[in-house]
Amino acid sequence: MADDYYSVLGVSRDASDDDIKKAYRRLVRKYHPDVAEDKDKAQAEMIKVNEAYGILSDPDKRAYYDQYGSAPGRGPGGGGADFGGFSGFGGFGDIFESFMNMGMGGSRGGRQPRRGRDIRVAVSITLEEAYTGCKKDIEFSVLENCSECRGKGSTEADGIKDCETCRGQGQIRRTINIGFGSIAQAMECPDCGGVGKKVVKPCKECKGRGKVKITKRREVTVPAGVETGNGLRLSGEGEAGAEGGPNGNVNIIIDVKDDKRFERDGADLLYRKKITFTEAALGADVEIEQVSGDPQTLKIPAGTQSGTVFRIRGKGMPDLRGYFGDMHVLVQVMVPTKLNKEQKKLLEEFAKAGSQEAKEPSKGFFEKLKEIKDAVFNS
C-alpha cells in the first residue's frame, strides 16, 4: 500500500502551501547524507519525501490525490508517480536553497572585505537643550584593530601560515549525494573560517584575534529642534572591519526628556496657565514661562472661560530647518475651596449683584468685584 503523502511530510490534510514547503525543507535537512547516521535509510526516506512533495506542492496533482487517494497517472497501489521530469522535487532551487541554509554555500575563494559593525548610543537632553542645540560628550566601546599586530593576529613573520585543510584557498569542495545523483558543492573552510590562513604564533596583546576592545570618547553637536527618536551619525567610528573592510558607524539616538511645564507636539508647545477667578472675569496681563527663559506677557481679556486656549505665534520650538512653532496657552481658572463666613458673605453679595447686572453690567458692578478680589480669591 502506498504511503500517505501527508503523513510522509508530517503535515495535516488542510496544510497550506507554505506549511508543505517548510516541512519538505525540514526533511531535506534531516535526511541529508552529511547529517544522517544511516545513509542508505536516509536515501530511501528522501525518495518518499520527494515523491510526496512532488504531488502536494502541485495544486492540480494535490486535488487529484485528495479525491482519488493516488497520484495522477497511477491507480491505487500502482506504479510510480508522474513527476513530469524533475518537477516533483519542487525544482532544483528548493534543494539548493536547503543546502545553502545548512551553511553549504559560497564559492568565493577566501573571505571578502567586510564592513565593521555599527554601534548604537543613546543621548538624553533637556527640552532647553533641544531648543538651543548643545554639545554632548559620549562614551562607547568598540572592537578596534590591535595596534601591536595591526589586526593580523601575530607580530611574527612566520606567525601566520596557510590553512592545511583548504591549502590556503579558504574553501573546500565536497560531493553531496541528493538521492537521484550527486553534485559538487564549494563551502567555507571550517578550520580557518574562509580566511585561508591560521595564526600559529598569536599576538600577546590580542591573543591572535587581531582586535581589542577599546573605549572611545567623542564630543557631538546636537542641533536645535531635535526630537526624541532623531539620530546623528559618526561615520567610521564604529567597530573595525574584517579583511581590510571599512569601520562601521556610531548611530546616536536622541531622547528629549519630558518637561513638567510644557507638552511638545513637533514644533508646537502647550503651556498650562492658572489664573484667578477675578483675573478671568476682569481681564489681566499675566506672566507665562518660555523654554528660552525670556519673559512673556499674555493679555487675558475680561470674561475668559476656563479651558480657553491662546496662541502665541513663533514662541514654540524650532524644527531642524529653523522654523519656529507656536505656543498654545491653556487657561485654567482657579476656584477657592475654603471660605470663612466673611468671604462667603462677600461672594453671596457678588452673586446677587451679578444676577442683577446680568444683562448690562454697570461700572459699579466691576468696582464691587474689585473690592472683594483681595478678600476672597487672592486670600
In this structure, are 61 and 135 located in the same domain?
A: no
Residue 138 lies in a domain: yes
Rounded to whole angstroms, the Cα distance separating 230 from 271 reads 24
324 DSSP β-pair partners: 318
Would strands 231-234 and 268-275 be described as parallel, antiparallel, or unpaired?
Answer: unpaired
Q: For residue 226, what pLDDT is reported?
A: 95
- Nearest by Cα to 120 from 226, 211, 233: 233
In this structure, are 232 and 322 located in the same domain?
A: no
The cell numbers describing 337, all together, are: 475651596
Q: For residue 265, what pLDDT is reported?
A: 92
Residue 184 lies in a domain: yes
pLDDT per residue as tens digits for the range 212-230: 999 999 999 999 999 998 9
Residue 109 lies in a domain: no
Residue 181 lies in a domain: yes
pLDDT per residue as tens digits for the range 265-322: 999 999 999 998 889 988 999 999 999 988 899 999 999 999 999 999 999 999 999 8
Q: In total, how many domains does the chain have?
A: 4
Q: For residue 18, what pLDDT is reported?
A: 85
In this structure, are 79 and 13 located in the same domain?
A: yes
In this structure, are 157 and 242 located in the same domain?
A: yes
In this structure, are 225 and 284 located in the same domain?
A: no
Question: What are the start-end ranges of the H helices in 258-307?
Answer: 277-282
In this structure, are 123 and 239 located in the same domain?
A: yes
In this structure, are 130 and 238 located in the same domain?
A: yes
Residue 171 lies in a domain: yes
In this structure, are 273 and 312 located in the same domain?
A: yes
To the nearest 10°, the Cα dihedral for 56, 59, 65, 71?
A: -70
- Nearest by Cα to 377 from 332, 338, 351: 338
In this structure, are 130 and 86 located in the same domain?
A: no
Entry pTM: 0.57
In this structure, are 23 and 92 located in the same domain?
A: yes
Residue 317 lies in a domain: yes
Q: Which positions of the chain have pLDDT values less than 70?
A: 1-2, 33-35, 71-111, 176-182, 350-351, 353-379
In this structure, are 323 and 224 located in the same domain?
A: no
Residues whose CB is less than 8 angstroms from the CB of residue 56 and which lie 6 or more positions away in sequence, other chains included: 5, 6, 9, 11, 15, 20, 62, 65
Which of 101, 135, 169 is a domain's end point? 101
In this structure, are 293 and 363 located in the same domain?
A: no
Q: For residue 74, what pLDDT is reported?
A: 53
Residue 192 lies in a domain: yes
Rounded to whole angstroms, the Cα distance separating 204 from 200 reads 12
The domain in which residue 65 lies consists of 5-101
Which of 101, 136, 158 is a domain's end point? 101
Residue 194 lies in a domain: yes
CATH code, 298: 2.60.260.20
Q: For residue 110, what pLDDT is reported?
A: 47
CATH code, 61: 1.10.287.110
